Amino acid sequence: MQPDGSAATVLGLLSDETRVDVLRAVARAQAERDAANSGPVALAFSEIYDRVDVENTSKLSYHLGELTGAFLRSGEAGYSLTHAGERIVRFVLARNYEQPEAFESTETEGVCPFCGASRLRARLHHQFFLVECGACDRPVSNYSVTPAQTRALDAEELVASVERKQAMDYAQARRGVCPECAGPLSTEVRELDESPFADADPFLVVDRCGACLREYNAPLTYGVAYHPASVAFHWERSVDVTTRGLWAFHDNLVEGRWTAERVESDPAEYEVVLRRDGDALRCRLDADADVLRTERVRRR
């Protein structure tokens, strides 16, 4: 079937459980293949019939016809997943259409930007992984989690998983690619009148995806934290920033080790300085918060 392009029509094709089972069968065949092979797996009509519980070949032929175009492509070797088919079936296999499972409130490292306390705790709040201060109860950070994450991991493992995922996502966003849909991002740097980090970094970088409408935002210094120059600088000082969530950076601003200032106005340019163990990484950024150049400053 060639769908009319509307989301309702395309998604409506999955209203039959047999069609979902067909997509599962192709995905499982992909997982069973020899890892040395490349390219998508294509299943012949007879192979799908053997793998799917369907009344007869006529019914299967009908369902394959409905799926072909939107979720399957048909070729000489058989049927394989389209981009939409890949995205949907992975979502289904992970059961991410379910609700995330609650987990026990657990402590996590970090500093509250509002009161300076180091008593942070993480818990599930709706579909979000919420980090809040145990002293003043204010939210410090929140990030989405999937049912697959909460189902498979205990609270401590979940904290580590969210930190790694947030680090990867924000590093990708700061390179102009939306982690959600891979669409391009537009960037705006705002100077905030009120910010808990005003003395160190009063700037907020807002990245928006024009395709899926996802938005990512963080202080200007945090966008530099995952830059390769920063990763190397901190790694040499026994800190792996690629495994740390954004909330784990708050102490650097609270204590003034990381700073940002605007050094040019037309066009805007910014200088971010990340300090560690007496040494510093100085970075010059353009109006889109992209790093133009870096410089190491060593302790004398």
Residue 201 Cα to chain centre, angstroms: 24
Please check whether residues 79 and 167 belong to one and the same domain. no
Please give the average per-residue pLDDT across 140-149, as a whole number. Answer: 94
* 171 and 55 together in one domain: no
Are 64 and 192 part of one and the same domain?
no
Give the rounded percent of residues in the chain with a pLDDT score beyond 70.
96
Residues 287 and 176 both lie in one domain: yes
Question: Which DSSP category does 242 fall into?
Answer: G
271 belongs to a structural domain: yes
According to the model, what pLDDT value does residue 40 have?
A: 80
Give dist(CA 41, CA 62) in Å, integer.
21
- The verdict on 197 and 273 lying in the same domain is yes
- Residue 276 domain-assigned? yes
Same domain, yes or no: 164 and 292: yes
The pLDDT score that the predictor gives to residue 36 is 59
| 89 and 187 housed in the same domain | no
On whether both 69 and 172 belong to a single domain, the answer is: no
Given this model, what pLDDT does residue 26 score?
96
Q: How far apart are CA 131 and CA 139, in angstroms?
A: 6
Domain of residue 57, CATH code = 1.10.10
Domain boundary among 49, 72, 93: 93
The verdict on pTM exceeding 0.95 is no
Instruction: Tell me which residue range forms the domain holding 177.
Output: 160-297
Q: What is the pLDDT of residue 280?
A: 97
Residue 126, pLDDT score: 87
pLDDT(259) > 90: yes
> Of the ranges 3-7, 248-252, 293-297, which one carries the lowest mean pLDDT score?
3-7
User: Residue 95 has what pLDDT?
Assistant: 96
Is 150 part of a structural domain of the chain?
A: no
Looking at the domain assignment, is residue 173 inside a domain? yes
Average pLDDT over residues 3-7: 71
Angle, helices 83-93 vs 17-32, to 10°: value is 90
Same domain? 84 vs 178: no
Q: How many domains is the chain built from?
A: 2
Higher pLDDT, 96 or 32: 96
- Mean of all residue pLDDT scores within the chain: 93
